[in-house]
Amino acid sequence: MNDEDLMQLYAILQGVPGKTGSQRLNFLQDIGLDFTGRNPQFFEEQFIGEMEPELVNPVGRAYGRDAKWTNIFGKIESGMDPDSAVAAAIKEGVIEKPGGFGDEANNPYQIARDYAIKEAELESKWNDWSRRNQTESAKFGEKQNRLRSEFEADQPYTLQDLRGVSQFEAKGAPTVDELVRSIKMRRGFERTGQMALIRGDVLNNPKYDKELRRQLEQRSAKAKQTMVPTERSQGAMRNIALMRMLGG
């Protein structure tokens, strides 16, 4: 417990029921205030989804080593229907125009169709897997958020909870450089009428920049010293008020 904590504790004790310091400390412990300084952390589990399915087209595996089929299959994957892919390959001289077919297994049109059918099946399989994973991931995230909320709600109040957070922390603890960039972005256009005229040359003026930084540093220092309540600090104060009302 540092000096700031001790000073805060002393100030709190002045408004707590009890004739002695020990009685007042007991009162604070009765409302759930923890003086141990422990800061237990919530350990969030990582989502492990269903393994991505292996997407291998057996037709492509059987014929894909041949350059002419690589050409035709590539056309199909680009969105061309199988018959048109074969016709385009014939026109380009990739394959010869087929004659009659006694064996359907050697029919390039049939092979291209089989490849396209398998590609559609694999795409459907992957989409189903993706939807399942997204659904399970969302459910897992909701569960983790619920467990985190329950964990935080079960934690005893600390002096930090009573103190709340500073305005500086509540605003995300921005650096002076971040504040300067934000202000210059907002003012980086010409404003006329009743408002001041601020041009880019003024914004980039070293004197303006130095003065702006000085003011922002002062505001940041003040914001660090100005405390604002949090949900937990308000809860702790409600407990204190309730115990006082009950004569605790």
For residue 212, what pLDDT is reported? 83
Token couple for 82: 């199988």
pLDDT at 248 exceeding the cut of 60: no
For residue 71, what pLDDT is reported? 95
Asked if 158 contacts 34 with a C-beta cutoff of 8 angstroms, the reply is yes
SS3 of 43, please?
Answer: coil
For residue 195, what pLDDT is reported? 43
| Reported confidence tier of residue 119, pLDDT bands at 50, 70, 90 | very high
Q: What angle do CA 64, 69, 73 make, to 5 degrees?
A: 85
pLDDT in tens, 165-214: 778 888 888 888 888 888 777 765 444 444 444 455 556 677 778 888 88
Asked if 61 contacts 111 with a C-beta cutoff of 8 angstroms, the reply is no
Average pLDDT, the chain: 79
Asked if 149 contacts 220 with a C-beta cutoff of 8 angstroms, the reply is no
pLDDT in tens, 28-74: 776 666 666 666 788 888 999 999 998 999 999 999 888 999 999 99
pLDDT at 13 exceeding the cut of 90: no
For residue 158, what pLDDT is reported? 72
Q: What angle do CA 14, 19, 22 make, to 5 degrees?
A: 80
**Average pLDDT over every residue of 83-103:** 84
pLDDT at 16 exceeding the cut of 80: no
